[in-house]
């Protein structure tokens, strides 16, 4: 019996699709060359038993004039393929069957058949000095359109029940069995950015913005920050009237503010600045006090145990409230049984891989709305701040143009826990600009129907300039 496995989430265990299902994955994932002779690689988990012959199909877009060198490899820097994306010349290792072709639209299709020794694939840009055949050809940017893995196996019901013993989380199979470690409540990461709470929850504690300090900041100091925020938000409201767009200001609460009973420290109902700004705009329709969006059930579903961002369900709650404030309808959405996903906080604990359970949205209405979704513009910067993505979606039900000035809670829209994922599917044009400021030049040039400014509670110690 033949199965097709499609990668589901770069940072989480693979989702096992129904037999025969083929689904595109890793859409829009980008990687760049490192400095000097460094490679910049992306790890792709394969939900495939070791010592199995697999066929991997990779479809990428690359600048045809860049002379780029694309690397595909296995563990221990064992290469499968080096590809010159300008000439389509390639060299493959001895035990790999490889072919490369250019599709009608210009994308490059790579097909590799080989026997895997570990369930992981490395894909990325390699400096030309790593292969003299391509000397002088510098690595460039690639956009991955699809990665598809195919192999022959027994039916899922007959699969080997033996466990893989490995320190690499990507070596574990799709239907992974999770267990627990016992840690003291209050145990912190060495950098004190994070602290372990009750029931397996991990919370931001100090860090760059020193959230713990903000919780006990004297009111007379907090009021100065709150005044700056009030002035900024009122200026943004005035700008919306001048340029004739709908405006929303969203401040996303910290996990500890919503789930205080699990936190290993006193949360005081949120930071002093956050509470002061919420009180000032209590009756303002343009300001969303997100604390009020969660009841006893939805708050547990909205904040994952071991992640610094919201779940897909939590993002949907936020998205739905913004739709309500704008006088627009929301899609009908159901959520799957929770599956294991990798935490984004593991690096703070010495690299030990931490997992959590989270659900994914199911919505035929959203699937239909995304039929013609495409990215039309990317703006890059040296850091995340200043980057931007614009989506165009003629099949979206809401024929409006939206700009969001926000951060990683919007992000690149690759996954449904990111707010951009929802907006890009529901509106005909959506743009995210990663910044704390509302940029008037961008608003004037784009002439949006809606502008959203978003930040998070612990970032309120840094009021925006505009």
pLDDT of res. 275: 96
Q: What is the 3-state secondary structure (H, E, C) of the chain?
A: CEEEEECCCCCCCCCCCCCCCCCCCCCCEEECCCCCCCCEEEEEECCCCCCCEEEEEEEEEECCCCCCEEEEECHHHCEEEEEECCCCCEEECCCCEEEEEECCCCCEEEEEEEECCCCEEEEEECCHHHCHHHCCCCCCCEEEEEEEEEEECCCHHHCCCCCCCCCCHHHCCCCCCCCCCCCCCCCECCCCCEEECHHHCEEECCCCCCHHHHHCCCHHHHHHHHHHHHHHHHHHHHHHHHHCCEEEEEEECCHHHHCHHHCCCCCCCCCHHHHHHHHHCCCCCCEEEHHHHCCCCHHHHHCCCCCCCCCHHHHHHHHHHHHHHHCCCCCCCEECCCEEEECCCHHHHCCCCCEEEECCEECHHHHHHCCCCEEEEEECCCCCCCCEEEEECCCCCEEEEEEEEECCCCCCCCCCCCHHHHHHHHEEEEEEEECCCCCHHHHHHHCCCEEEEEEEHHHHHCCCCC
Contact 461, 273 (CB under 8 A): yes
**Beta carbons within 8 Å of 340's beta carbon, 6+ residues apart:** 12, 13, 176, 178, 355, 356, 357
**What pLDDT is attached to residue 174?**
52
Where does the pLDDT of residue 172 fall: very low under 50, low under 70, confident under 90, or very high at 90 and above? low
Provide the pLDDT for residue 283: 92
d(CA 366, CA 153): 33
Q: What is the pLDDT of residues 315-364, one digit of tens each?
A: 999 999 999 999 999 999 999 988 888 787 877 887 677 888 888 999 99
451, with CB counted inside 10 A (0-12, 13-18, 19+), is buried
Torsions phi, psi of 58, nearest 5? -120, 130
Decide the pairing of beta strands 287-289 and 246-252.
Answer: parallel
Long-range contacts formed by 164-167: CB under 8 A, 24+ apart:
164/50, 164/119, 166/118
Residue 87 exposed, middle or buried by CB count within 10 Å (0-12, 13-18, 19+): exposed
pLDDT of res. 287: 97
Residue ranges of domains in the chain, CATH in brackets: 2-154 (2.60.120), 194-461 (no CATH)
The pLDDT tens digits of the residues spanning 191-229 come to 999 999 999 999 999 988 999 999 999 999 999 999 999
What does the alpha-carbon distance between residue 112 and residue 71 come to, in Å, rounded to a whole number?
Answer: 12
Tell me the average pLDDT of the chain: 80
Q: Which residue has the higher pLDDT, 134 or 381?
A: 381
Cα–Cα dist 289/273, whole Å: 13
Handedness of CA 316, 380, 406, 200 (dihedral sign): positive
Does the model's pTM come out above 0.85? no
Q: For residue range 430-447, what is the model confidence (pLDDT) as tens digits?
A: 999 999 999 999 999 999
* 29 vs 235, higher pLDDT: 235
Q: Give the pLDDT of residue 159.
A: 40
Q: What is the mean pLDDT of residues 70-99?
A: 79
Greater confidence, 346 or 249? 249
Q: At what angle do helices 272-280 and 219-243 cross, to 10 degrees?
A: 40
Best mean pLDDT range from 34-48, 122-136, 381-395, 437-451: 437-451
Identify the CA nearest to 143 among candidates 57, 45, 63, 33.
63
Residues 124-131 have a mean pLDDT of: 51
Arithmetic mean of pLDDT, 362-385: 90
Which pLDDT score, from 0 to 100, does residue 210 have?
Answer: 92
Q: For residue range 281-295, what is the model confidence (pLDDT) as tens digits?
A: 999 999 999 999 999
Q: 34 versus 77: which is more confidently predicted?
A: 77
């Amino acid at each position: 019996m033949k199965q097709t496995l499609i990668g589901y989430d770069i940072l989480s265990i693979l989702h096992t699709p129904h037999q025969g299902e083929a689904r595109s994955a890793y859409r829009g994932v980008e990687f760049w060359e490192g400095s000097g002779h460094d490679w910049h690689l992306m790890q792709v988990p394969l939900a495939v038993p070791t010592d199995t012959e697999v066929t991997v199909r990779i479809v990428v877009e690359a600048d045809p004039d860049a002379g780029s060198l694309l690397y595909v490899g296995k563990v221990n820097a064992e290469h499968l393929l080096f590809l010159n994306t300008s000439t389509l010349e390639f060299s493959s290792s001895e035990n790999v069957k490889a072919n490369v072709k250019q599709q009608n639209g210009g994308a490059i299709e790579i097909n590799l058949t080989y026997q895997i020794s570990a369930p992981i694939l490395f894909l990325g840009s390699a400096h030309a000095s790593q292969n003299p055949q391509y000397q002088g050809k510098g690595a460039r940017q690639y956009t991955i359109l699809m990665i598809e893995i195919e192999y022959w196996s027994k039916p899922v019901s007959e699969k080997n029940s033996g466990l893989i013993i490995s320190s690499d989380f990507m070596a574990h199979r799709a239907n992974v069995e999770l267990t627990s470690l016992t840690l003291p409540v209050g145990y912190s990461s060495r950098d004190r950015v994070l602290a372990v709470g009750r029931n397996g929850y991990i919370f931001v504690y100090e860090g760059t913005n020193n959230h713990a300090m903000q919780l006990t900041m004297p009111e007379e100091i907090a009021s100065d920050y709150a005044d700056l925020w009030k002035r900024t938000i009122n200026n943004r409201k005035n700008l919306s009237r001048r340029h004739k767009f709908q405006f929303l200001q969203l401040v996303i609460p910290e996990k500890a503010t919503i789930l205080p009973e699990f936190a290993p420290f006193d949360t005081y109902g949120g930071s002093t600045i956050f509470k002061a700004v919420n009180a000032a705009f209590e009756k303002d329709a343009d300001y969303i006090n997100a604390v009020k969006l969660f009841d006893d059930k939805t708050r547990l579903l909205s904040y994952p145990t071991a992640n610094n961002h919201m779940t897909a369900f939590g993002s949907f709650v936020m998205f739905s409230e913004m739709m309500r404030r704008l006088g627009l309808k929301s899609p009908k959405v159901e959520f799957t049984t929770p599956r294991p996903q990798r935490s984004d906080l593991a690096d703070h604990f010495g690299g030990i891989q931490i997992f959590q359970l989270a659900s994914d949205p199911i919505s035929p209405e959203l699937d239909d709305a995304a039929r013609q979704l495409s990215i039309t513009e990317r703006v890059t910067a040296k850091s995340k701040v200043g980057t931007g993505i614009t989506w165009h979606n003629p099949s979206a039900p809401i024929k409006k143009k939206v700009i969001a000035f926000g951060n990683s809670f919007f992000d690149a829209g690759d996954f449904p826990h990111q707010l951009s994922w929802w907006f890009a599917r529901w509106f005909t044009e959506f743009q995210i600009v990663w910044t704390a400021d509302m940029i008037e030049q961008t608003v004037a040039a784009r002439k949006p129907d809606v502008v959203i400014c978003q930040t998070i509670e612990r970032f309120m110690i840094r009021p925006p300039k505009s």
